[in-house]
Structures are given as structure tokens and as C-alpha cells.
Amino acid sequence: MQAESEIWTTALFNRFLAGPLDTFLNAVGHPAADPAHPWPNLVVAIILVLFAVLRSRLSVDKPGNFQLAFEAIYKFVSGQASEAIDHHVNRYVPFFGTIFIFILFMNLIGIIPGLESPTMTPAVPLAFAIAVFLYYNWMGFREQGVGKYLAHFAGPVWWMAPIMIPIELISHFARPLSLTIRLYANMFAGERVTITFLTLTYFLLPAVFMGLHVFVALLQAFIFMLLATIYVGSAVAHEH
């Protein structure tokens, strides 16, 4: 059954392009749960198309501009992760890269006339925030072991545990809320400002505010990814 929250662009893709996507998903061994509506949202559709094109053009000897752009993104994400995590960095880069690219595409889709950034809906940033929360805690348990990871919540000395444990728990559970509000509020405000000025101006100024929207989209995707690297880095650091 089609989701009630499906936006008109997603419905358009599902109506006219369901067959090609079903064929592609079946070919790669991941059939859609609902063949009548295989496009979950427009962002997923765009990313699927882009990476399908990228995969067909991968070349070690003669990389194209598209491949070079994604290699630059990988190096950038890897570099940021290296500054926050002191070992096994490559283990975590795929997660950080996925977060960065997906949020960036969601933020940028708002510059298309008639569309809004999905990150303007609180549930979307919340889902990413919960994913980050679960991921860094799971990595902490995996890297340090359950006992050692939980021990760092008690603080550096045992007699501070009654004070430190509540503080640490509140701090950690506040992180998803902080990530959600930061991304949602900034994208919502940026989108409203852009739309307001676009309705007031019609010549050179719209380009300026569209550029501002792109800058905010890049910045918020970067900040979200950066905070994720910091959280993972603190969870897997052995000095705990």
C-alpha cells in the first residue's frame, strides 16, 4: 500500500518508472518490498541513479570528473575521521560517508523548484541522529568490550561515579536531540529565508540566496558528519 506521506515527485517516479527500477533491483539481487512503489523517496532515487552511473564509469586509468568528485569526498571524509579516531579509521569511513552524502543530497534537493528539503521534517534528522547514537555506542561496545565501555560512564575515579553516571547518561541521551534540532532548525530557517527573498526579488539577488542555501546545505551535512566522527572517536578511544 502506498505511504500516505509520499510526496508528489515520489508518486510520479513510482507511476512511470517503477518497472525500470524493479528490473534493476532484481538484477542486483535486492527486489523491492513493494514492486508497485519501489521508489521510497526522491533522494534515494537520485542517489541510486548517480551511483549506477558512477559504477558503470569506474576506471583506474582514466577516472572521469564524476569519479574524481566522489574520490575527493571520500578523501575529505577519511581525513576528518582520521582527526577524531586514532586507529582503524577505514572501518568507520563508509558510515560517515553515507551520512554525509545522504544528508547533503536531502539538503540540496530543496533548491529544485517545487520541492522541499526532507531534512525540514523533524522525523528525518531524528532518524539520522538515532542511527548515529546507536552506531557509536555499538562501536564502543565492539572495540572496548561491554565492561570497559560502560566503566567510562563512572568517571576517572570510583568515588565520583554517583555524580558522573547521571551526567554522562544525560549527556549521551541529549546527543540525538541536539543533532536533530541543529539540522532541522538550520535547514528550516535557511529554506524559509531563501523562499522569502526569492518571492521579493527576481533578478541578481535570487542567485545570491540560492548560493547561500547551497552553503548552508554543505555546512550542515559537514557538521552532522563531523559530530558523528567525534562521538565515534570518543567511544572507541582506548584511553577510556
Rounded to two decimals, what is the model's pTM? 0.76
Place of cell 529554506: 191
pLDDT at 1: 40
41-94 pLDDT per residue, tens = 556 666 667 767 766 667 777 777 777 888 888 999 999 999 999 888 999 999
pLDDT at 42: 58
Q: Which three cell numbers stand for residue 78?
A: 577519511
**Distance from C-alpha of 86 to C-alpha of 109, rounded to nearest angstrom:** 35
Please state, for a pLDDT cut of 90, what percent of the chain lies above it.
Answer: 34
**Distance from C-alpha of 11 to C-alpha of 181, rounded to nearest angstrom:** 29
145-204 pLDDT per residue, tens = 988 898 888 877 778 888 999 999 999 999 999 999 999 999 888 877 777 776 666 655
Q: Cβ neighbours of residue 222 under 8 Å, at least 6 residues apart?
A: 100
Instruction: Give Cα separations from 239 to 138, 233, 236 (angstroms).
Output: 18, 11, 9
26-56 pLDDT per residue, tens = 776 667 677 776 665 556 666 667 767 766 6
Comparing CA positions, the residue from 219, 217, 178, 224 lying closest to residue 194 is 217
